[in-house]
């Protein structure tokens, strides 16, 4: 029943969708990192509901408060408690779903596992839980940026059948943030917005794909065998609500290529080993190779829709449900900062693990000579 993620840079999220508050505890952040609430707020503003006509109209400002672990603008190395109050919760919207299971939502599985569930918007199964992820990820991203110059950019690559071709080497966060779809390709962004609005009017929902690039990641991050970097990235991404698929580098497309086509040739530039292509997605043998990390995450359509659906109640009796409440017709635009946050948490954790190994090896070398 753990809600904790990470080995050295550890995050525990807490809170329910329509409870009093949500948030996270970050344990393992190094001391003396400059940190203000505004650093975290900028990330939460990108995730919050009600930011455009394409998202849920729930009106949450998502103002973050740092309650511990920071003093005079710097981290102390002690646990950082982040709190965001729920100001616009409306449990009455879900009264009709108290005893009815929403198709493809977690209502039934939570009841089956725990014998109890918070029916107010799904409780912990709601994407409201990701507030803690994004707040924590903002700290991890700042740590990576200051320490290593790492740059993380996610964007909406696909909504339903509409696909956007963006250059991972060039796409910027400013381009991503230029429109409500968070797609940096203007023509595709317009088509996506129209498609999402049509689904909203029909009482339906859509899925799609978020792509991400992490630049300036040093070589050497990741552990052999079970804690491979792509394995931890996959775990992180597939833990996001509504995530159903993960690809790194060429992904499933690589299965149609021969080895001679797929391999990334090595060369040396400025004393550094590089690859001429990046079908590996910046990771080989589970360890980063110094190239940009490229990944994609597939998201299913939002489960709670206004269209009437067949279901059952808690007693197993047949029912129909046309769900009320406030829900995203497509999770993709608000999923972008969540995907970025989870990538930052994984990379920060593996960087701390790597420098711990390097420091230990240096001490051993020094003692043995």
pLDDT in tens, 182-220: 999 999 999 999 999 999 999 999 999 999 999 999 999
Give the tokens for residue 351.
Answer: 């960087």
pLDDT of residue 177: 96
Angle at 203 between CA 201 and CA 208, to 5 degrees: 90
What would the pLDDT profile of 327-344 be if each residue is shown by its tens digit?
789 999 999 999 999 999
DSSP 148-210: H--EEEEEEEEETTEE----TTT--HHHHTTSTT--SSHHHHHHHHHHHHHHHHTT--B-EEE
- Give 303 or 293, the one with higher predicted confidence: 293
pLDDT reading at 57 higher than 80: no
Give the DSSP letter of residue 29.
P
What residue ranges do the domains of the chain occupy? 4-367
Least confident range of 84-88, 120-124, 257-261, 297-301: 120-124
pLDDT reading at 325 higher than 70: no
Give the DSSP letter of residue 23.
E
Assess contact for 19 and 89: CB atoms under 8 A.
yes
Average pLDDT, the chain: 94
CATH homologous superfamily of 4-367 equals Chorismate synthase AroC (3.60.150.10)
What would the pLDDT profile of 4-51 be if each residue is shown by its tens digit?
999 999 999 999 988 899 999 999 999 999 999 999 999 999 998 767
Within a 10 A sphere around the Cβ of 147, how many other Cβ atoms? 15
pLDDT of residue 334: 95
Within a 10 A sphere around the Cβ of 125, how many other Cβ atoms? 19
Cα 321 to the chain's mean position, in Å?
30
pLDDT of residue 355: 96
Q: Mind spelling out the 3-state secondary structure of 104-128? A: CCCHHHHHHHHCCCCCCCCHHHCHH
pLDDT of residue 323: 78
Task: Choose from 115-124, 139-148, 307-316, 358-367 the range with maximum mean pLDDT.
Answer: 139-148
Give the tokens for residue 82.
Answer: 């982040």
φ, ψ (nearest 5 deg) of residue 269: -140, 125
pLDDT band at 78, cuts 50/70/90? very high
- Taking the C-alpha atoms of residue 218 and residue 221, their distance in angstroms, rounded to an integer, is 7
CA-based end-to-end distance of the chain: 47
What would the pLDDT profile of 125-152 be if each residue is shown by its tens digit?
988 999 999 999 999 999 999 999 999 9
User: Model-level pTM?
Assistant: 0.95
């Amino acid at each position: 029943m753990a809600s904790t993620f990470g080995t050295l840079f550890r995050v525990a999220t807490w809170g329910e969708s329509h409870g009093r508050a949500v948030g996270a505890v970050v344990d393992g952040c190094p001391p003396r990192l400059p940190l203000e609430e505004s650093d975290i707020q900028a990330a939460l503003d990108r995730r919050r509901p009600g930011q455009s006509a394409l998202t849920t109209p729930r009106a949450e400002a998502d103002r973050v408060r740092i309650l511990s672990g920071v003093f005079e603008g710097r981290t102390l190395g002690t646990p950082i408690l982040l709190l965001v109050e729920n100001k616009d919760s409306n449990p009455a919207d879900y009264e009709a779903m108290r005893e009815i299971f929403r198709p493809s939502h977690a209502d039934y599985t939570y009841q089956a596992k725990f014998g109890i569930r918070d029916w107010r918007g799904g409780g912990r199964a709601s994407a409201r839980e990701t507030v803690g992820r994004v707040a924590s990820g903002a700290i991890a991203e700042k740590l990576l940026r200051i320490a290593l110059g790492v740059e993380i950019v996610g964007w909406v690559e696909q909504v339903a059948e509409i696909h956007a071709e963006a250059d991972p080497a060039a796409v910027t966060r400013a381009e991503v943030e230029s429109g409500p779809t968070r797609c940096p390709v203007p023509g595709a962004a317009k088509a996506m917005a129209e498609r999402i609005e049509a689904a909203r009017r029909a009482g339906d929902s859509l899925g799609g794909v978020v792509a991400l690039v992490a630049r300036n990641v040093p070589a050497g991050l990741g552990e052999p065998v079970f804690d491979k970097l792509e394995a931890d990235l996959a775990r992180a991404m597939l833990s996001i609500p509504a995530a159903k698929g993960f690809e790194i580098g060429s992904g499933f497309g690589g299965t149609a290529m021969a080895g001679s086509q797929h391999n990334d040739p090595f060369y040396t530039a400025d004393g550094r080993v590089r690859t001429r292509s990046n079908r590996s997605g910046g990771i080989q043998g589970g360890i980063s190779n110094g190239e940009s990390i490229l990944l994609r995450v597939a998201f299913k359509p939002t489960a709670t829709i206004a269209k009437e659906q067949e279901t059952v109640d808690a007693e197993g009796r047949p029912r129909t449900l046309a769900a009320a409440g406030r829900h995203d017709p497509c999770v993709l635009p608000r999923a972008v900062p969540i995907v970025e946050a989870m990538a930052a948490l994984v990379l920060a954790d593996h960087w701390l693990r790597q420098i711990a190994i390097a420091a230990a090896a240096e001490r051993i070398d020094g003692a043995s000579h």
